[in-house]
Structure 1
Amino acid sequence: METQKIIVLISGGGTNLQAIIDKLHNQSLNDKQTKVVAVISNKPDVYGLARAVEAGINTAVVASKGAESREAYDTLLSAEIEKHQPDLIILAGFMRILSADFVNKYLGKMINIHPSLLPKYQGINTHQRAIDANDDVHGASVHFVTPELDSGPIVLQAKVPVFEDDSSEDLRERVLTQEHLIYPLVAQWFLSGRLTMQGSQAVLDGKVLPENGYAAD
């Protein structure tokens, strides 16, 4: 049986990594086996690495602390990735801005999840920014990675309500619940051949997705 190989890049606790492991590691999908072949962290001793070890998945640390430059780091990261020849690279809380050369090398086969309804609130502190803006709806977006930060074609978004007494942590937990549902789903679409990136657009089942992607129910 052909194996569809996944690499997950992390920087922390790895709750989205766990969702990917639970739904896609050693699973059968359209007569193919999906397998997380490696989890790579830019930080040592994060809990996400322990999650991978528990699941019997290879781990590696390509430490970003002390790297000479972004490009130098990305060269080391790419060398580690190339050991496994992945079909899909999943960024799961990987807190690095990647160089254009690195992103272009894996263009169309690397996805990210961002805790906002893109294009709103690119970057960090998204939950507090939504609260400060008095938004009544917030959420998460899964998108293909392009050289522009948090700007690649959006595949799927999930919305959550924002309540008056919400803290940023309350909102974060509500969004995370949705992230754990939609991220493995998008990965399944890609690995089953249903989802591709064509030019600057995400295409699902032969149809170009709208600018804000597919809206999860």
Structure 2
Amino acid sequence: MARSSPETADKDKTPRHVAIIMDGNGRWAQMRGRPRLVGHHAGARRVKEIVRSCPDLGVEYLTIFAFSTENWKRTQTEVAGLMKLFKRYIRRETQSLIDENVRVRFIGDRVRLEPSLVDMMDNLELLTAGNAGTHLTIALNYGGRDEVARATRRLAHDVAAGKLDPRHVSDETLPKYLDTCLLPDPDLVIRTSGEARISNFLLWQSAYAEYEFIDTLWPDFTPAEFDKVLRRFGNRERRFGAVPA
């Protein structure tokens, strides 16, 4: 049987959960002779458009990689600017997210973040907790290895406290301790900007995800291109280690 083209892919095969490594903001700005933070602001505007496109495209869960545990290595100016941008995004978009029925969650280690930013994150999660539309998860000070290490510590604590029998620990146990314990695993992971690596993002959860590495820089990643990527996903055959019948 002939496979459908990207333009005619079965919309019923739209991934339920899409995760995106939003790469290329700094290069986008530098190509235009502007400071890197200008690219991050452009990238934040693009996030808003992509989130709004999810209901029409059939995406229920969207997880975006906003700031990694390794991003602290960047210049103090860029890091400080990013933290201000996160606060600005929350302040400006809270009401829109509520009105558009978006539920927001944050994953990552909040210990190193400014208390004022953590308060804003907590408040946004609370205000959108009753929303049942797009589930937007923002990975902030997040690293896959760090997440697994923190989850393992919590699991070990429960074993030591007698709450968990180590003989019953399986590959279904650890996910209950991960930051994403309330989310389905991603079906599709997209990375923009032409880089072909996963950068410590959702290591456990993406074991059977499909990947798309695209050349487009994140600020140029439009809902139309998002739609094309989703259609290509619809043409893939996911076997999860099995042999097709």
Which TM-score applies when normalising by structure 2?
Answer: 0.35
Instruction: Give the structure with the higher percent helix.
Output: 2
Instruction: Point out which structure has higher relative CO (alpha carbons under 8 A, 6+ apart).
Output: 2
Which TM-score applies when normalising by structure 1?
Answer: 0.38
Q: Which has the greater radius of gyration? A: 2
